[in-house]
Amino acid sequence: MGNVKTMEQNITVEVDGLLNAWRSKATSRVLVVASVVLLPVLLAVLSGRFCHFALPVRIVCVLLFLALVSAALRPQWNLKWRASVLLGTLAIASALQLVVTQLSGSGRLSLLALPIFALILLGPRVGWLMVILSIALYTSIVFLGQAELLVLWNVADTDTSLFFWIFQGLRLSSVLLIMMALLTRFHNLQRRTMIAELTALRKLETETADRLRLETEITRVSERERLKLGSELHDGLCQHLTAALLNCTALENKRDKKGSESVTEITGIRESIEESIDMAYDVACGLCLLDMAADALIPALERLCRSVSDRQGISCRIQTDGDVTVDNPEYALHLYRIIAEAVANAVKHAQCSQILIRITQKMTGVMLSVSDNGRGIFETIKDRKGLGRRIMAHRAELMGGALSVSTEPGCGTTVTCRLPDAEGLS
């Protein structure tokens, strides 16, 4: 239970970090756009061409614009500080615009957009604070203007009454509250969706890791059972067959001295027992193929090549680029099984006369390939389930590698396994 809560907390922190990273980029772009847009406004305020402001007001406008430009040019600053500079500058610019245009211009739209910017850049809590600020600014300017306390407010220039502006303010407030409520719900929904998506991703990664661990354990158990069976064949069946062979040989010698006609039959039995011993030994060697030493893979592959050449009459050889050793015994087993399966497929399906095994050590890892000069086995096995190929690919994935098969009719087949540079390979 504690691990689940810890994971949920970590995911929440990660999602908040992703949101803050996006907000930081968005704030940088908005700061640049706001600096460009507000520059003509600042020049108009300083020139006094459209309206006249007192010197302290112009100084404050210059300082705010410099702060805005500084925040735009310093993306390494804290997000809250940069966004606060942006929101403060926009709030003051909106208030001045309302004063100059006597509430009839686009200043009301600026006050409407201010909370939306705050919600997007700093979250719902700051957004609702900006709602209160926007309503307070609008209300203050309306009453101060009607009381003729603002220098730029000229009641004679407008025929509207106080109740008209109050009604307009109520309409704008209603629209703003509805928009903020919807955007807040959307923001929370997006955040919950991101948390759910990241939680599902983490669970999938955990389940994938568990599945890989279980598959690795199953493979390990399978190899142990294979080793046990090989040992029983070698130490049990082969020993009994050897004892039977010795008894048969002794009986053959005894009968040979007496000149019995049954010597030929005994000789046939002895030869069958010898073949059985060879077959059982080959099976035991196939099951117990490696002695787990770092340099055991190459000798095991050489024995595989000799066995294929002797039994199948196919030229099978191994080519290595430098000294390639595998320190991890499990990796050695996987590599051997992949090569053995590829060689078996070539012998069974390709109708080839040559098989070449290459093992190359590169900067990015190890690459091994099994190539033949046969007819290309794709046409032969494409309609099959391909269990052997899937097992080879699975073994490559267990080592963090990838398997590929390239084949063309009449041009042979190449099975390639690429492994990254890992601790088990050297």
Q: Residue 155: what pLDDT?
A: 39
For the chain, what percent of residues have pLDDT higher than 90? Answer: 4
Q: Residue 152: what pLDDT?
A: 45
The two tokens of residue 105 are 């211009």
Three-state SS at 372: strand
Q: Residue 154: what pLDDT?
A: 43
Q: Residue 158: what pLDDT?
A: 47
Task: Kindly report, residue by residue over 21-62, the tens digit of the pLDDT.
Answer: 888 888 888 888 888 887 887 887 777 766 677 777 788 788
Three-state SS at 362: strand
Task: Kindly report, residue by residue over 3-23, the tens digit of the pLDDT.
Answer: 667 777 888 888 888 888 888
Strands 365-372 and 354-362, by their bridges, are: antiparallel
Q: Residue 153: what pLDDT?
A: 43
Domains of the chain are 2-160 (no CATH), 311-420 (3.30.565.10)
Place of tokens 């957004």: 127
Strands 354-362 and 315-321, by their bridges, are: parallel
Per-range mean pLDDT, top range of 34-38, 184-188, 399-403: 184-188
Question: What is the Cα Rg of the chain in Å?
Answer: 42
The two tokens of residue 283 are 């099976």
Mean pLDDT of 347-351: 82
Count, residues in the chain: 426
Mean pLDDT of 184-195: 90
pTM of the model: 0.53
Residue 271 vs residues 33, 55, 312, 376: alpha-carbon distances, Å: 94, 118, 20, 38
More confident residue, 201 or 46: 201
More confident residue, 352 or 4: 352
Q: Residue 157: what pLDDT?
A: 46
Task: Kindly report, residue by residue over 220-273, the tens digit of the pLDDT.
Answer: 766 666 666 666 565 566 666 666 666 666 666 666 555 555 556 666 666 666
Q: Which pLDDT band holds residue 422 (cuts at 50, 70, 90)?
A: low
Q: Is the pLDDT of residue 85 over 80?
A: yes
Q: Which of 1-5, 160-164, 300-304, 406-410 has the lowest mean pLDDT?
A: 1-5
What's the CA angle centered on 365, arms 361 and 367, to 5 degrees? 60
Q: Which pLDDT band holds residue 182 (cuts at 50, 70, 90)?
A: very high
Task: Kindly report, residue by residue over 109-140, the tens digit of the pLDDT.
Answer: 778 888 998 899 888 999 999 899 888 888 88
More confident residue, 379 or 238: 238
Q: Comparing C-alpha atoms, which of 78, 99, 65 is closest to residue 27?
A: 78
Q: Comparing C-alpha atoms, which of 309, 287, 290 is closest to residue 300?
A: 290
Mean pLDDT of 273-298: 62
Q: Which pLDDT band holds residue 76 (cuts at 50, 70, 90)?
A: confident
Q: Residue 156: what pLDDT?
A: 38
More confident residue, 315 or 209: 315
Q: Residue 383: what pLDDT?
A: 41
Q: Is the pLDDT of residue 185 over 90?
A: yes
Q: Residue 59: what pLDDT?
A: 84
Task: Kindly report, residue by residue over 289-312, the tens digit of the pLDDT.
Answer: 545 455 678 888 888 888 888 878
Q: Residue 181: what pLDDT?
A: 92
Place of tokens 């509805």: 178
